[in-house]
Chain A
Amino acid sequence: MENYRRIMANNREWVKKIVESDPGYFDKLSKGQQPTFLFIGCSDSRAPAEVITGTEPGEMFVHRNIANQVQPADLNVLSVLQYGVEVLDIKHVIVCGHYGCGGVRAAMAEPFHGLVDYWIGGIRNIIRLNRHALEGMGGDEERFKRIVELNVLEQVYNLSQTPVVQQAWDKGPRPLLHGVVYDLHSGLLQELVVGLDSNKKAQEFFTPQLRMSLHGA
């Protein structure tokens, strides 16, 4: 309970500080949001979207789930995506994974984690499809990193195939899709794929070979 009280106290202090420096701050924000970014990241507490991207409230629309999944039948992420693209006119959609992701690690182990095993079935597929390449790699850490990266790419691909993005691309080069990985050790974001804004660019990036290693087709 003490921990919880600390949060409330922090909040009061934060408000005081903000209002001192900008009295109209909350008025402005309460008028509405026009965020430029949609961030799809992992629920992991060590990868807080606004903090690692340096964005202010109002700038970024955020969706987080375990292992930053964009599953084609997940109404949650699809609603966020549709609202973000069609109503808020989001320009950039960023899928952000992170090294040391617990969700990915769970997919590499035997399935006995509970519900989350269903959730990360897609990552298990990626591992299975890349068994050969992964087994040929030097160490466990390297393998783990590679799976995290492949997972981000798979989610960017899934994103590009959603009706929301397809319909938007029918109209013009918007939104732009990006895939990045956050490094817990260095705090740096590493770019895996940048600025997909059309089916043409998506096709160029997702070569048949890459797609084969992501979802076998």
Chain B
Amino acid sequence: MSVTAPSARAIAEVSSPPVAGGWFAYAREDAAASIVVALVALPLCLGIAHASGAPLTSGLVAGIIGGLVVPFLSGSQLMVSGPAAGLVTIVYASISELGGFEIFLPAVALAGVFQIVMGLLKAGVIKFYFPTDVMRGMLAAIGLTLILKQAVHLVGYDADYFGDTAFDQENHENTFTAIAHAFGATHAGATIIGLLSLALLFLWPKIPSAKIRRFPAGLFVVLLGIGLNALFRALGSDLMVQPEHLVAMPSSGGPLGFFGAVVRPDFSAFANPKVWSAAFTIGLVASLESLLSLEATDRLDPWKRTSPPSRELVAQGAGNFLAGLLGGLPLTGVIVRSSANVNAGGRTRLSAVLHGIWLLVFVLLIPGALNLIPLSALAAILIHTGFKLSPPSLYREMARIGWWHWLPFTLTIVSILLTDLLVGILIGLFIGGGVILLRHSRSPVLIPIGPPGSVLQRFILPVHLSFLNKAALANMLESFPPGSRVELDARRTAHIDYDILELIHTYAGLMKERGVDLRLVGVPSLPGGKPSGH
């Protein structure tokens, strides 16, 4: 466990990006991280499939495709893809509306085609418009969500599915009632394993021996959990963790059983218009979630690599196309697994690929062994990741840099915590966009140069003048008393909206009548001649 945020220590540890094409440049780190990611991903895949009302195998298929297909096409080094909690509501509704999972699968494949088309049309550029404050709020909220949601699993209260991120849970509780209930229903054995794991994860980087430190802490706590539980069982103790608090891989009856359990798509459903509208919704929402995850993962990258978003849409689309054909849930880039990947020291896309291989190996070869893993150990890994995503220093910094940063940040966190990731982020984007527009419309439209009290008041116009500045500019122009001399210099302005141009030229006439000497320098004339009226 080495890096999460680019602290001085982290930068010292990972000094420079790997050379291009270095698939195996960090094989050891990537392999270690991939095991942790796969162990975390496993119950998430199962939990999300369960909550979506889909066969459990579909979650695993999506997870495996997210590892074995998407990373090869994606431009991201660290993002992990798989079934997403953010899609649960949509998937659940679509399956019941379409009347069966086999009819739903063609919609997933079609959604993938939509995504590929969007990617080829370069729709991914919207990634660059996610406001920083909202993205920071999103990461913090995910961190808090992990802490709050996983706290109940840490103490062995597994009423809700593992990996739920919505406030109103599948089981008609919400985040806070679940925590309250959990206090009355803790399981001592699970709690011991969970708390011990959590403590170990936090103390791991402080272990003096570098040799021990290099062992992936996440893997260690999982093995410790299995070991402790085996000990409890051997002792016949009440502390023994019951199967409902362990990973519950469906008993597939070996590789053939797994493939047999996978649902095949009903291709005749392509004729159904509802399939198309479901595909459209899924394609759109999955794309948004993937791009958000991509942006978030890029922000977590200690090497500050940036990933091409449109290429990501193509990669995700290919993944969903295959998922639809092979009986998987729709997948997206997922932040929890991606941040666990970063937190566990993943460096390149090899770790995402390996995570897919491990999932496949788990499913085919050792489904039984997985059922020995206490959920509370996995919860500890996610809570630790949550703390890394949501460190107290982040809140202090956001409070320090001003309310217009703090407001969208905080509102995004609150909305995500009280609704779910997707709805919350949309609220955050809406509010964040509003704050940005507000700030933009209040930004100075005329920048004074020259000393105050000059006979000639000289102003330069900002680099960019949009219609949002119209009211402010009109007020400013109104404010010059008769007899004043004003120079507006637009020679450094790269872009002026037509609205603004029209306003300036209209005022030029008005102000002349009013006895204001307005001199325009480098202000383009109106494309269609002067506006009527003067």
A88 touches B519 (CB 8 A): no
A88 touches B521 (CB 8 A): no
A33 to B455 CA separation, bound complex (whole angstroms): 8
Interfacial residues of chain B within 417-465, with CB under 8 A of chain A in the complex: 450-451, 453-456, 458
* B502 in contact (CB, < 8 A): no
A-side contacts of B458, CB under 8 Å: 86
A171-B519, A172-B519 known; A89-B485 Cβ under 8 A: yes
Looking at the assembled complex, report how far the CB atom of B147 sits from the nearest CB atom of chain A, in whole angstroms.
Answer: 60
* A71 in contact (CB, < 8 A): no
A89 touches B455 (CB 8 A): yes
What is the 8 Å Cβ interface bit string for chain A, positions 31-74, against chain B (1 contact, 0 not)? 01110000000000000000000000000000000000000000
Interfacial residues of chain B within 460-500, with CB under 8 A of chain A in the complex: 485, 487, 489
A87 to B456 CA separation, bound complex (whole angstroms): 6
A35 to B358 CA separation, bound complex (whole angstroms): 84
Contact of B456 among A32, A33, A89 (CB under 8 A): A89
Interfacial residues of chain B within 357-396, with CB under 8 A of chain A in the complex: none
A-side contacts of B450, CB under 8 Å: 86-87
B-side contacts of A32, CB under 8 Å: 453, 455
A-side contacts of B487, CB under 8 Å: 171
Looking at the assembled complex, report how far the CB atom of A30 sits from the nearest CB atom of chain B, in whole angstroms.
Answer: 13
Which one of B454, B456, B485, B522 has the greatest number of beta carbons of chain A within 10 Å? B456
B-side contacts of A87, CB under 8 Å: 450-451, 454-456
Q: Which residues of A contact B (CB under 8 A)?
A: 32-34, 86-89, 171-172
Interfacial residues of chain B within 491-534, with CB under 8 A of chain A in the complex: 519, 521-522
B-side contacts of A33, CB under 8 Å: 455
19 new A-B contacts, CB < 8 A, other than A33-B455, A172-B521, are A32-B453, A32-B455, A34-B455, A86-B450, A86-B456, A86-B458, A87-B456, A88-B454, A88-B455, A88-B456, A89-B454, A89-B455, A89-B456, A89-B485, A171-B487, A171-B489, A171-B521, A171-B522, A172-B519
A-side contacts of B519, CB under 8 Å: 171-172
A-side contacts of B456, CB under 8 Å: 86-89
A70 to B451 CA separation, bound complex (whole angstroms): 24
Q: How many A-B residue pairs have CB under 8 A?
A: 27
Looking at the assembled complex, report how far the CB atom of B393 sits from the nearest CB atom of chain A, in whole angstroms.
Answer: 48
B-side contacts of A88, CB under 8 Å: 454-456
Looking at the assembled complex, report how far the CB atom of B323 sits from the nearest CB atom of chain A, in whole angstroms.
Answer: 62
Looking at the assembled complex, report how far the CB atom of B517 sits from the nearest CB atom of chain A, in whole angstroms.
Answer: 9
Q: B454's closest neighbor in chain A, by CB?
A: A87
A-side contacts of B455, CB under 8 Å: 32-34, 87-89
A67 to B489 CA separation, bound complex (whole angstroms): 37
A172 to B489 CA separation, bound complex (whole angstroms): 11
**Can you show 16 pairs from A to B with CB atoms below 8 A apart?**
A32-B453, A32-B455, A86-B454, A86-B458, A87-B450, A87-B451, A87-B455, A88-B454, A88-B455, A89-B455, A89-B456, A89-B485, A171-B489, A171-B522, A172-B519, A172-B521
Q: B458's closest neighbor in chain A, by CB?
A: A86
Q: A87's closest neighbor in chain B, by CB?
A: B454
A89 to B489 CA separation, bound complex (whole angstroms): 15
A88 to B519 CA separation, bound complex (whole angstroms): 15
B-side contacts of A89, CB under 8 Å: 454-456, 485
Looking at the assembled complex, report how far the CB atom of A155 sits from the nearest CB atom of chain B, in whole angstroms.
Answer: 24
A32 to B100 CA separation, bound complex (whole angstroms): 85
Query: 9 tightest A-B contacts by CB?
Result: A89-B456, A171-B521, A87-B454, A89-B455, A88-B455, A34-B455, A89-B485, A86-B450, A87-B450
Looking at the assembled complex, report how far the CB atom of B370 sits from the nearest CB atom of chain A, in whole angstroms.
Answer: 75
Looking at the assembled complex, report how far the CB atom of A31 sits from the nearest CB atom of chain B, in whole angstroms.
Answer: 11
A1 to B455 CA separation, bound complex (whole angstroms): 40
Q: A84's closest neighbor in chain B, by CB?
A: B455
A34 to B485 CA separation, bound complex (whole angstroms): 11
Q: A33's closest neighbor in chain B, by CB?
A: B455
A34 to B517 CA separation, bound complex (whole angstroms): 14
A88 to B453 CA separation, bound complex (whole angstroms): 9
A87 to B454 CA separation, bound complex (whole angstroms): 5
B-side contacts of A34, CB under 8 Å: 455
A171 to B519 CA separation, bound complex (whole angstroms): 9
A171 to B523 CA separation, bound complex (whole angstroms): 11
Q: B451's closest neighbor in chain A, by CB?
A: A87
A50 to B455 CA separation, bound complex (whole angstroms): 21
Which one of A34, A87, A172 has the greatest number of beta carbons of chain B within 10 Å? A87
A-side contacts of B489, CB under 8 Å: 171
Looking at the assembled complex, report how far the CB atom of A163 sits from the nearest CB atom of chain B, in whole angstroms.
Answer: 15
Q: B487's closest neighbor in chain A, by CB?
A: A171
A89 to B458 CA separation, bound complex (whole angstroms): 10
A34 to B453 CA separation, bound complex (whole angstroms): 11
B-side contacts of A171, CB under 8 Å: 487, 489, 519, 521-522
Looking at the assembled complex, report how far the CB atom of B525 sits from the nearest CB atom of chain A, in whole angstroms.
Answer: 14
